[in-house]
Amino acid sequence: LQVASELQNAGFDPVVFERGAGAGSFFERYPRHRRLISTNAVHESAELDSLQYDHHSLLSNNPGLKFPKFSKAYLPSADDFVKYLRAFAQETKLQIRSNIEVTRVTSDEDGLFLLETKSGPQYSCEHLIVSTGRRLPHLPAKGKHAIDGLHLAEGYEDEDLKTSGEGFEQKRVLILGAGQSAFEFAAGITPVAQHVDVVDRVRVRPAWAPHLVP
């Protein structure tokens, strides 16, 4: 959305293909516990560069398109973030074509990109930007970090993974990885689990040791 908005402001006419039902569809499923762990900069001092601490707002000259207008929660709901992204897309009049899944990209002899879709129609364009993010889980099944038997574990992306805490009551749980999804899930099941460990192969950087210096 940000790239499309900037291109539109520069005089281009970008079109966004979205596999889901609308802007921000990814956040209708993730995070699994429906609570973002990135903080909401509601009460930042005007003397500070608020964008440095605002982890949700997209760049816009419209003051009404700041995420704190949509949620005052310190750790906001993912559902509120979806509402914000769709409001941004609507207010900036972005061309978003929903429910289009691109399955193959090629190019012709004139240098045009050719896009094949799951529903059948084909599209062409001069410039193509892929902004799908990372959707496939990282499973170290090969190489020096390979883990034998990893397929026996439950994955964060598994459809039947319980997020209400059901199935984790009084259980000892080990979470591999120390990224956002790991800490989100750990926080979600801690109230019902007997004990939760989060492990990673690198040292975790604590919140009090930020990489941004005001």
Query: How many Cα atoms within 13 Å fall on the side-chain side of residue 86?
Result: 18
Helices then strands, counting H and E runs in the chain, come out as: 3, 7
Percent of residues, the chain, with pLDDT higher than 90: 56
Q: Where are the beta strands (DSSP E) in 47-144?
A: 95-97, 102-107, 113-117, 122-125
Q: Once rounded to an integer, what is the mean pLDDT over residues 36-40?
A: 84
Would strands 113-117 and 122-125 be described as parallel, antiparallel, or unpaired?
A: antiparallel
Q: Give dist(CA 57, CA 8) in Å, integer.
A: 18
Mean pLDDT (the chain) is 87
Is pLDDT larger for residue 203 or for residue 119? 119
Q: State the pLDDT confidence band at 147, using cuts at 50, 70 and 90.
A: confident
pLDDT score for 194: 95
Ranges 100-109, 111-120, 145-154, 180-189: which has the least confidence: 145-154
Percent of residues, the chain, with pLDDT higher than 70: 90
Helix, strand or coil for residue 107? Answer: strand
pLDDT score for 214: 45
Handedness of CA 72, 76, 81, 83 (dihedral sign): negative
Contact of 102 with 17, CB cutoff 8 Å: yes
Is pLDDT larger for residue 211 or for residue 101? 101
Angle (CA) 54-56-57 rounded to 5° is 80
pLDDT score for 212: 54
